[in-house]
Amino acid sequence: MKPVKSPYIRRQLLVCFNSRDPSTGKPSCGMNGAAQLRDYLKKTVKERGLKGEVIVTGTGCLDICPAHGCAVAFQPDGEFFLSDTTEQAGEELILHLTR
How far is C-alpha 46 from the geometric centre of its chain's CA atoms? 15
# chain residues binding ligand FES, by CB under 6 A: 11
Report in angstroms how near the CB of residue 16 gets to ligand FES at its nearest: 3
What's the chain's Rg over C-alpha atoms?
A: 14
Q: Which is nearer to ligand FES, 67 or 95 (CB)?
A: 67
Query: Hey, which bits of the chain come out as E strands?
Result: 11-16, 54-59, 70-75, 79-83
Report in angstroms how near the CB of residue 65 gets to ligand FES at its nearest: 3
Site for ligand FES in 29-68 (CB under 6 A): 29, 61-65
